[in-house]
């Protein structure tokens, strides 16, 4: 129910403010799109022309020819999909253990998980690198897969959802003779689809956008990802901004599609992840 | 002659259990085992690739090591080295500056946005999605764009500032004094949407009756905000505050994409300092010592925040 009627002036004011904020927020993305159709020399002309004089569609052809962008895109997809699948499987399993099973040392172990969320990644970046060096995994995708598949964050996120599932429900399933594993698979998993969707998108987007990991571990063109590809137009071809922007648009497009498709799930999933329990 | 204990007492002695007790404890053990199997796949990877490296960093911080020959214990010498390094102290203070301002400003922005977008207005979902989108956009891709927007002489931001009468707008990423503020502004833009969502969830949990009662009692808008909304949002604020702080200390991609730590070392934060020591200078000792410093700061701040939260909610 409405508590009080807002005056039309006030409503209009809120709209104007929100619209202004939204435009400011999206402006950099619009600029990116506009610059992606320009020649490198045009990108820098001021005042900015938001709509290019002539659309240089060929930028979107050139980027695939100048660098092995198709391979980079494939590599990014490969890493994102594999890491996301491992995360979903192992995190949901562990989250069930931490929220619905009893065993000695459970809380201590969970505390260790939580504590590592607070530890900046840079703190253990060096030992991880040495470890990968000793395992001869530098410049292989396996290095990033091993390092990024087992995050504490995934376990934490799913556990927040699982503790809101009433224990009576699981008790009933156990009395009906379901094993712990089938209780998990047939009761808990179907109930927490939004949680899984949230983790899927979060994990996919994080791996897809990751720059530092691939920069440290991938040296050869065979292993590089799309984020590294964006920067290649800076070193190799003396900053061709039109091409950089076209590649950037290609790098953001899949995330935009995934985001728009799952927006509802995502927004609600994130919103409820932090605060329950 | 040995005294024989009565049967009942013997049963109570630890180790001797009645049949039903024994059944229960074997069930317990079986349940514990099942619990461990659930944790195990994730824990194995987590222990090997995260826990062990963390411990190894602590060890490395008191060692001298080039990565090949045997390690040598050097006590606190690595810490002495970084504490006398001007680049470290610069990174240290810049990190604090960056964290304080980006945390406070992002928190205020996300709270304001959440309150505005909690109202029933047309196109609400579209607004939310738009504000949230920067969070999922690749920083490396968007960094080049922001550099152009902040361009000193002709960039749209400075053109706008001149338009409203500021004759000498800041140099942003070209200036050692202003670069960090440019980074802070971009970080607010990038992260406010994410924390807005967490605030929105908090807002939805506030019972409408509270506002109805307050309105009947004649409370004004600001009164309702400060007496109901803000106190009821304390758990959200606490969560946002902690996550923002932790994530601000981790910021790397943002700075790398915008300034690469420059001009000079004016935007080199601790995370960037550690990266440089590791992969530019291959200075394992300094890298590990700086990591331990970063680790201790984040831990201390998190613990203080947890304590503060307790006092704060008690007070309310």
- pLDDT digit string (tens) for B234-259? 878 888 888 898 889 888 888 888 88
Tokens 């505390």 appear where? A111
How far is the C-alpha of B270 from the C-alpha of B294, rounded, in Å?
7
pLDDT of residue A158: 86
Query: Pick from A144, A158, A163: which is nearest to A223 by CA?
Result: A144
Mean pLDDT throughout B29-45? 86
More confident residue, B1 or A192: A192
For A58-67, A146-155, B4-13, B216-225, which range has the lowest pLDDT when averaged over its residues?
B4-13
The answer to whether position A3 is within a domain reads no
More confident residue, A83 or B239: A83
Q: B84: pLDDT confidence band, cut at 50, 70 and 90?
A: confident
C-alpha count within 13 angstroms, C-beta hemisphere, residue B46:
24
Q: B13: pLDDT confidence band, cut at 50, 70 and 90?
A: low
**B positions 145-184 inside 8 Å of A (CB):** 145-146, 148-149, 151, 153-156, 159
pTM: 0.83
The answer to whether position A251 is within a domain reads yes
Q: Sign of the C-alpha dihedral, residues A268, A270, A274, A276?
A: positive
> Diameter of chain A by CA atoms?
73
The answer to whether position A95 is within a domain reads yes
Give yes or no for B298 touching A (CB within 8 A): yes
| CB pairs A-B closer than 8 Å | 270
Say if the Cβ atoms of A14 and B116 lie within 8 Å: yes
Q: Is the pLDDT of residue B9 over 60?
A: no
Percent of chain B at pLDDT > 70 equals: 90
| Token digits of residue B166 | 């500021």
Say if the Cβ atoms of B201 and A275 lie within 8 Å: yes
State how far the alpha carbon of B159 is from the alpha carbons of A141, B162, B164, B182, in Å. 45, 5, 9, 16
Mean pLDDT throughout A251-261? 82
Q: Is the pLDDT of residue A42 over 70?
A: yes
Mean pLDDT throughout A169-196? 85
pLDDT of residue B27: 74
The answer to whether position A10 is within a domain reads no
Say if the Cβ atoms of A22 and B159 lie within 8 Å: no
So what's the ipTM on this one? 0.81
Q: Is the pLDDT of residue B18 over 80?
A: no
How far is the C-alpha of A171 from the C-alpha of A189, rounded, in Å?
16
- pLDDT one-digit tens code per residue, B280-290: 888 888 888 99
Mean pLDDT throughout B60-88? 82
Q: Which residue of B has its CA nearest to A118?
A: B246
pLDDT of residue B311: 60
How far is the C-alpha of B273 from the C-alpha of B286, rounded, in Å?
10
pLDDT of residue B1: 42
Instruction: Give contacts of B294 with chain A, Cβ < 8 Å.
Output: 120, 122-123
Measured N-to-C along each axis, helices A69-100 and A226-235 cross at an angle, to the nearest 10 degrees, of 140
Task: Work out how many domains chain A is built from and give that number.
Answer: 1
Minimal Cβ distance to B298: which of A3, A46, A119:
A119
Q: Which residue of B has its CA nearest to A44?
A: B148
pLDDT of residue B316: 43
Q: A217: pLDDT confidence band, cut at 50, 70 and 90?
A: very high
Q: Residue B142: which CATH number?
A: 1.10.3720.10
| Token digits of residue B200 | 């929105």
pLDDT of residue A1: 41
How far is the C-alpha of A237 from the C-alpha of B305, rounded, in Å?
48
How far is the C-alpha of A115 from the C-alpha of B54, rounded, in Å?
11
How far is the C-alpha of B186 from the C-alpha of B181, rounded, in Å?
9
Q: Is the pLDDT of residue A246 over 50?
A: yes
Mean pLDDT throughout A188-214? 86
Q: Is the pLDDT of residue A177 over 70?
A: yes
| Token digits of residue B49 | 């690739």
Which one of A85, A101, A126, A189 makes the best mutation probe of the B interface by having the most chain B beta carbons within 10 Å? A126
Mean pLDDT throughout B56-75? 81
Q: Residue A68: which CATH number?
A: 1.10.3720.10
| Angle ∠(A250,A253,A258) on CA atoms, nearest 5 | 150
Say if the Cβ atoms of A47 and B159 lie within 8 Å: yes
Minimal Cβ distance to B54: which of A18, A116, A249:
A116
Minimal Cβ distance to A93: which of B42, B200, B287:
B42
Give yes or no for B246 touching A (CB within 8 A): yes
The answer to whether position A23 is within a domain reads no
Mean pLDDT throughout A20-27? 88
pLDDT of residue A238: 63
Percent of chain A at pLDDT > 90 equals: 18
pLDDT of residue A79: 94
For A25-39, A228-242, B191-205, which range has the lowest pLDDT when averaged over its residues?
A228-242
The answer to whether position B283 is within a domain reads yes
Minimal Cβ distance to B130: which of A22, A103, A120:
A22
How far is the C-alpha of A31 from the C-alpha of A249, rounded, in Å?
11
Domain limits for position B153: 77-315
Report how far Cα A212 is from the mean position of its chain's Cα atoms: 14
pLDDT of residue A17: 86
Q: How far is A197 from chain B (nearest CA, A)?
A: 15
Q: How far is B98 from chain A (nearest CA, A)?
A: 15
pLDDT of residue B19: 61
For A248-257, A260-269, B31-40, B299-308, which range has the lowest pLDDT when averaged over its residues?
A260-269
Alpha helices in A101-179 (DSSP H): 106-118, 122-134, 141-148, 152-162, 167-175
The answer to whether position B240 is within a domain reads yes
- Residues B202, B204, B205, B207, Cα dihedral to 10°: 130
**B positions 268-287 inside 8 Å of A (CB):** 270-271, 274-275, 278-279, 284, 287
Whether the bond into B275 is cis, omega within 30 of 0: no
Say if the Cβ atoms of A1 and B208 lie within 8 Å: yes
Task: Work out how many domains chain B is built from and give that number.
Answer: 1
Q: Sign of the C-alpha dihedral, residues B11, B13, B15, B20?
A: positive
Q: How far is A93 from chain B (nearest CA, A)?
A: 5
Instruction: Give contacts of A10 with chain B, Cβ < 8 Å.
Output: none
Q: B222: pLDDT confidence band, cut at 50, 70 and 90?
A: confident
How far is the C-alpha of B241 from the C-alpha of B102, rounded, in Å?
11
Question: For residue B260, how many other CB atoms are within 10 A of its CB?
Answer: 12
């Amino acid at each position: 129910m409405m508590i009080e009627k807002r005056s039309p002036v006030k409503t209009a004011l809120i709209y104007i403010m929100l619209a202004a904020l939204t435009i400011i927020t999206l402006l950099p993305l619009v600029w990116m799109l506009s610059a992606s159709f320009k020649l490198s020399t045009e990108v820098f002309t001021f005042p900015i022309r938001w709509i290019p004089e002539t659309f240089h569609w060929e930028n979107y052809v050139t980027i695939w020819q100048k660098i092995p962008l198709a391979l980079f895109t494939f590599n990014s997809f490969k890493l994102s999909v594999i890491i996301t699948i491992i995360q979903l499987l192992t995190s949901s399993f562990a989250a069930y253990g931490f929220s619905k099973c009893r065993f000695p040392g459970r809380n201590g172990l969970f505390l260790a998980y939580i504590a590592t969320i607070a530890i900046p990644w840079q703190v253990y970046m060096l030992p991880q690198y040495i470890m990968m060096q000793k395992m001869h995994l530098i410049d292989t995708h396996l290095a990033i897969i091993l390092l990024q598949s087992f995050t504490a964050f995934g376990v934490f996120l799913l556990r927040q959802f699982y503790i809101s599932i009433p224990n009576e429900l699981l008790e009933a399933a156990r009395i009906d003779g379901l094993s712990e594993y089938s209780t998990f698979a047939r009761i808990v998993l179907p109930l927490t689809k939004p949680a899984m969707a949230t983790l899927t998108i979060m994990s996919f987007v994080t791996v897809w956008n990751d720059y530092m990991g691939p920069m440290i571990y991938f040296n050869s063109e065979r292993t590089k990802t799309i984020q590294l590809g964006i920067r290649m137009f800076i070193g190799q071809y003396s900053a061709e901004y039109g091409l950089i922007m076209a590649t950037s648009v290609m790098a953001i497009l899949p995330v935009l599609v995934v985001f728009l498709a799952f927006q509802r799930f995502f927004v609600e999933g994130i919103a409820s992840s932090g605060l329950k329990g | 002659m040995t005294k024989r204990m009565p049967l009942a007492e013997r049963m109570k002695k630890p180790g001797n259990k009645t049949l039903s007790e024994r059944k229960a404890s074997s069930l317990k053990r079986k349940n514990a085992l099942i619990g461990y199997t659930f944790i195990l796949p994730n824990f194995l990877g987590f222990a090997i690739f995260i826990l062990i490296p963390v411990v190894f960093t602590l060890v490395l911080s008191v060692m001298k090591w080039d990565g090949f020959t045997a390690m040598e214990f050097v006590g606190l010498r690595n810490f002495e080295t970084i504490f006398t390094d001007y680049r470290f102290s610069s990174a240290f203070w810049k990190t604090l500056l960056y964290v304080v301002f980006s945390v406070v400003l992002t928190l205020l922005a996300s709270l304001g946005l959440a309150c505005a977008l909690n109202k029933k207005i047309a196109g609400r979902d579209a607004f939310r999605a738009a504000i949230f989108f920067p969070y999922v956009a690749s920083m490396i891709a968007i960094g080049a764009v922001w550099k152009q927007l902040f361009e000193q002489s002709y960039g749209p931001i400075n053109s706008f500032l001149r338009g409203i009468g500021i004759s000498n707008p800041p140099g942003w990423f070209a200036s050692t004094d202003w670069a960090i503020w440019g980074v802070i502004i971009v970080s607010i833009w990038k992260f406010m949407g994410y924390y807005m969502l967490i605030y929105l969830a908090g807002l939805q949990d506030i019972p409408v009756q509270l506002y109805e009662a307050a309105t009947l009692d004649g409370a004004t808008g600001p009164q309702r905000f400060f007496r109901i909304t803000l106190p009821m949002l304390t758990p959200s604020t606490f969560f946002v505050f902690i996550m923002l702080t932790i994530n601000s200390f981790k910021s790397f991609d943002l700075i790398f994409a915008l300034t690469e730590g420059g001009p000079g070392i004016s935007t080199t934060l601790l995370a960037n300092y550690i990266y440089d020591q590791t992969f530019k200078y291959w200075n394992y000792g300094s890298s590990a010592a700086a990591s331990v410093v970063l680790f201790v700061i984040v831990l201390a701040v998190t613990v203080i925040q947890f304590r503060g939260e307790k006092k704060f909610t008690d007070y309310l």
